[in-house]
Amino acid sequence: MLAKSGRSVSELRATYPSYYMSKQRVELSADIDPQSLLDRLAREEQGKGEINPHRWCGRSTSPTAGYTYVAAIPSPSSVVYTEAPSAEEATALADEYKQLISST
C-alpha cells in the first residue's frame, strides 16, 4: 500500500484514526470462576454492542465508541484492555469495566 500510494509513512499514517490504550488490573476474589465472570459480563452488556461469541470480549462497539477486552484468566487478577479515540475515554471505559467486575 505504501509503495503504491507514493506517500510517506507519516502521510499514510495520518489517514488512519488515532486510538489510545488503557490496561488495568482488577483483583479477583479466590471464589470467582473466570468463565462465569465472562458469562455475566456478556449478559450485562447484551445490546450495548457486538459481543464476541467466545465471550473473551466484554464489549466491542463502533470505532468511535471504543473497544474492550477482558482477560479473565485463572489467577488472582483480571486484566481489562481498552481502546478509544482519547486517553481519557480509554481510561473511563476501563474504569466502567473494573466497576462491573468488582461488583461480582
Q: What is the pLDDT of residues 22-79, one digit of tens each?
A: 999 988 877 877 777 777 777 776 666 555 555 554 455 555 567 777 876 666 778 8
Return the residue matching grid coordinates 461469541. 53
Reply yes or no on whether the pLDDT at 3 is more than 90: no
Strand order from edge to edge, sheet including 59-60: 20-27, 77-84, 67-71, 59-60
Farthest-apart Cα atoms in the chain, separation:
57
Say what the pLDDT of residue 88 is: 95
Supply 79's cell numbers. 486484566
What is the distance between the alpha carbons of residues 57 and 72, in angstroms, rounded to a whole number? 10
Measuring CA to CA, which residue among 42, 86, 78, 33 is closest to residue 60? 42
Q: Is the whole-model pTM more than 0.85?
A: no
Place of cell 478509544: 84
